[in-house]
Structure 1
Amino acid sequence: MAVYLHEEDLPEGVLAPGPIAVDTETMGLITPRDRLCLVQLSDGGGDEHLVRFGPGSRYDAPNLKAVLADPARVKLYHFARFDLAAIEHYMGITAAPVFCTKIASKLVRTYTDRHGLKDLVRELLGKELSKQQQSSDWGGAELSEPQREYAASDVRYLHAMQTILVERLAREGRTEMAQAAFDYLPHRARLDLAGWADKDIFSHE
Structure 2
Amino acid sequence: MAIFLHEGDLPGDVFAPGPIAVDTETMGLHPYRDRLCLVQLADGQGDEHLVRLAGNYAAPNLKAVLADPARLKLYHFARFDLAVLEHYLGIEAGPVFCTKIASKLIRTYTDRHGLKDLLRELLGVEVSKQQQSSDWGAAVLSDAQKDYAASDVRYLHRAHVILAERLAREGRTAMAQSCFDFLPTRARLDLAGWAENDIFAHM
* TM-score where L is the length of structure 1: 0.98
Q: Give the unaligned 5+ runs of structure 1.
A: none
Choose the corresponding residue for 2:97, options 96, 99, 112: 99
Match of residue 143 from structure 2: 145
What do residues 164-197 of structure 1 show as CA deviations (whole Å, max 9, x unaligned)? Answer: 0000000000000000000000000000000000
Q: Aligned partners of 1:121 and 1:58: how far apart in 2?
A: 33
Q: Which runs of 4+ in 1 moved over 2 A?
A: none
Q: Tell me if the contact between 2:78 and 2:183 (Cα under 8 Å) persists in the aligned partners.
A: yes
1:58, distance to aligned residue in structure 2 (A):
2.9
After superposition, give the CA deviation of every residue in 1:9-37 in whole Å (9 maximum; x if it has no partner).
01112111110000000000001110000
1:180 counterpart residue number: 178
Amino acid at match of 1:10: L
**Residue 77 of structure 2: which of 74, 79, 83 is its match?**
79
Aligned equivalents of 1:53, 1:172: Cα separation in 2: 41
* CA distance, structure 1, for counterparts of residue 140 and residue 15 of structure 2: 24
Take 1:168 and 1:159, find their aligned partners in 2: how far apart are those partners? 15
| Map of 1:190 onto structure 2 | 188
Q: Give 1:145 deviation, angstroms.
A: 0.2
Matched, 1:6 2:6: yes
Q: Deviations over 1:125-184 (max 9, x none)?
A: 000010000000000000000000000000000000000000000000000000000000
Structure-to-structure mapping, 1:100-179, within 5 angstroms: 100-179=98-177
**Alpha-carbon distance between aligned partners in 2 of 1:104 and 1:173, rounded to the nearest angstrom:** 12
Matches within 5 A, 1:10-49: 10-49=10-49
Report the Cα distance in structure 2 between the residues aligned to 1:155 and 1:187, rounded to whole angstroms. Answer: 23
Query: Matched residues in 2 for 1:87 and 1:180: separation?
Result: 21
Q: Secondary structure at the match of 2:32?
A: coil
1:42 maps to a residue whose letter is: A
One-letter amino acid matched to 1:9: D
* Deviations, residues 62-103 of structure 1 (Å, cap 9, x unaligned): 000000000000000000000000000000000000000000
Partner residue in 1 for 2:88:
90
Paired residue total: 203
Scaled by the length of structure 2, the TM-score of the pair is: 0.99
Instruction: Provide the residue aligned with 2:56 in structure 1.
Output: 58
Question: Partner letter of residue 111 of structure 1?
Answer: Y
